Chains A and B, each alone.
Chain A
Amino acid sequence: MRKSSPMPAVRLAVCVGAAMIAIAGCGGSSSSSSSAAAGGSSSSSASGSAKHYSVAFIPGATGVAFYDSLGAGVQAEANKLGMSYSTQGAADFTPAAQTPVVDAVCSRSPSLLLVAPTDPAAMRSAIQRCMSEGVKVVLVDTGLTDASGVVSAITSNNLQGGEAAGKVIGQALHGKGEVSLMSLSPTATTQVLRLQGAKQELKASYPGISVVSTQYTQQAPSSSETTARSVLSAHPGIGAFFGAAEPNAEGTAQALVSTGKKAVNIGYDASPPEVQLLKKGQISALVIQQPALEGTLGVEYGYDALTGKTSPIKKTVELPNVVVTTSQANSPTATKYYYTGS
């Protein structure tokens, strides 16, 4: 919620509003499509297995390029294995919005569920209910504190991603200067770890660099822009920004354009707008995860679990992140990591 809530009535309105949006999110973005991609393979029982399997994917929130790419990976692998694919999600990245989605999806009894839990503790009970119905569950992106019973938990190494960002900053500033950090949430584990990784790396390897500001912004990029400009006012000599979430680096890029200042701007993920700014040099480097690979691996392991081939399954996987700088932005080794757009 925003800073100001003038009246109880208004507050109530927002809560109800949020609930409504969540419901809209629940009902809205269904796209079960076994017909897409994988041209020839007739959708059902192409793999020759006797039983027809289905896979459902629930992202942390809808409308996020990272999850769209993850979903694309899930769908491609599902098509390959002859599984039918569907996805459902809530617009808000909260357990309150995600729980009813998980319950609703599981009531349709998919063979396999890939889910990115929005809270490591609060999402346990809904996922537990799902597993007790006999649904195989793979966790992707974010995890659960108690992950017992799940087939596998696949995530990006966020600490490593933060460290990588710290390294890029340290090198770009030649070990001296001021840095500002930004993220969307002081609690979401992924973002906490990214900032922590960056701070650790800077402290350990670049003692001449100091983190002078840590700010939390709203989801809208305009919030990051205002914040970055305020930070630039507060610390005119700032040398680098690191944003742990997509809108942070976008807003910072615009803040640098509008103030005419120069600073290293490191972003996280590779949404189409971010990639565009990277190519223009308004973002100096992106720390990129491998969401499609998370999806592919998740379906593979889930399929193995369904067909009783448990030996290749790894219970936990931490995929490394890659760093792409502006000068590498157009090389094919980099572009293959960019997330799918709308």
Chain B
Amino acid sequence: MSSGPRLDPSAPPPSASGPAAPPTEPASRSRLSWMRENWIFGVLVLIVLVFSLASGNFLTRANWLNTSSTATEVLLLAVGETFVIVSGGIDLSVGATLGLSGMVGGWVMAHFFATGGTPGGIVATIGIVVAIAVGAAVGLVNGVLISRYDIPSFVVTLGTLGIGTGLADLVANGQEISLLPATIGNIGNTNLGGWLPVPVVVTAIVTLLAGIVLAKTRFGIFTYTIGDNREAAVRAGVDDRRHLLKIYVLAGVLAGVAGVTVMTRLAAASPTSGANDELNAIAAVVIGGASLFGGRGTISGSLIGTAIISVLLTGLIIVNVPPFWQLVAVGVVLIAAVYIDQLGSQLRAHRPIKRGETA
């Protein structure tokens, strides 16, 4: 089922026909991924059902607010990671980038704030822009090294993971920055209509846009094509280096946005924020049906993957699972989720499929 390099030249890569309107292939792809997601979505529903039956405190407004704002951190990273993984790469640096961008944004704000006089809203805006710019800068470094110098993404982003973590500690000698304008904390703790925290709304918009871009635009088609078969993409006239550069910048920008949302949630910037988050993001993308070999994956899948991880995180505490068993339970559910997903694929395999569909 996996999409290794195509051996049969008679099967053209999807959208090799170029940037023009995608013909039949992407359509069948989206139908297939929708079926995949039905299965994994079923797993999510099952988990929610079990938690709801186990505790009356699970399906509550308080838990929705907690789970959804917690999920923003991983989801923003997972959205960027989806593009990277679909293009056949991996980005291990996003968690560290989250921490670094928050720290630099926080440092700038604490700096402005200390001198006083500037209205909090302006200071906050500057801090947010700086944080996202730092994310973009890390993404640019990753992208340039990967696309221009052909260093494997695994190695480059492993390097920037270490660099980002170290730099985040250097900003304030490993300490947190908590002297931020009140606006920052207010943003993170405002619930629109009582149910929608601002970071959740921002993340939802970003996710929706990213979903459209990956599924419906030329940018998305190029991403799949490069991940599927880079050579074919080049032959079809795709500027692969330029495209990969953009993808890593996008992942960096989203890590910067995630750095901002975490900062607004805590009203403080911490250099430890985002530590190991890249693992959760990659897990969410893979649970969502993406292939680590590239060419396959969807934003909606990654959304469901993130939801499963976040619901487990809060739900296991709410139903009073002892702490050590929480780790065991998360591990079991993650493996089971992907297994059930594969089972679904096998069931489908019993009906005849056209060859292009396996992508």
Contact = CB atoms under 8 A, between A and B. Distances in A.
Contact of B275 (A65, A219, A251, A273): A219
B266 A221 contact: yes
Given A219-B272, A236-B57, A6 B279 contact: yes
A28 B162 CA distance: 12
Given A3-B327, A64-B174, A216-B323, A221 B268 contact: yes
Interface stretch (B34-42, B60-68, B118-126): B60-68
A251 B176 CA distance: 12
Contacts of B188: 258
B178 interface: yes
Interface residues of A, number: 58
B80 to A, nearest CB: 16
B175 interface: yes
Contacts of A271: 175-176
A215 B66 CA distance: 16
B331 A3 contact: yes
B165 A4 contact: no
Contacts of B172: 342
Interface in A201-245: 213-216, 218-222, 225-227, 229-234, 236
A250 B318 contact: no
A10 B331 contact: no
Contact of B165 (A9, A21, A231, A254): A21
Interface residues of B, number: 67
Contacts of B70: 222, 226
B330 interface: yes
B55 A222 contact: no
B265 A222 contact: yes
Contact of A272 (B65, B178, B276): B178
B266 A13 contact: no
A336 interface: no
A64 B272 CA distance: 11
Interface in A289-342: 341-342
Contact of B62 (A4, A227, A232, A273): A232
A28 B270 contact: no
Given A233-B60, A247-B270, A342 B158 contact: no
Contact of B330 (A3, A229, A273): A3
Interface in A95-134: none
B175 to A, nearest CB: 4
A4 B276 CA distance: 9
Interface string B91-121: 0100000000000000000000000000000
A218 B279 contact: no
B83 to A, nearest CB: 17
Q: Which 4 A-B pairs have the closest CB atoms?
A: A63-B174, A342-B173, A230-B317, A229-B66
12 contacts: A3-B309, A6-B282, A7-B282, A13-B154, A21-B162, A28-B169, A214-B323, A216-B323, A220-B273, A221-B273, A233-B318, A251-B266
Given A6-B286, A20-B162, 8 more contacts: A4-B331, A7-B292, A91-B166, A222-B266, A226-B70, A230-B63, A258-B65, A259-B65
Interface of A: 1-7, 9-10, 13-14, 16-17, 20-21, 24-25, 28, 62-65, 68, 91, 186, 213-216, 218-222, 225-227, 229-234, 236, 247, 250-251, 254, 257-259, 271-273, 276-277, 341-342
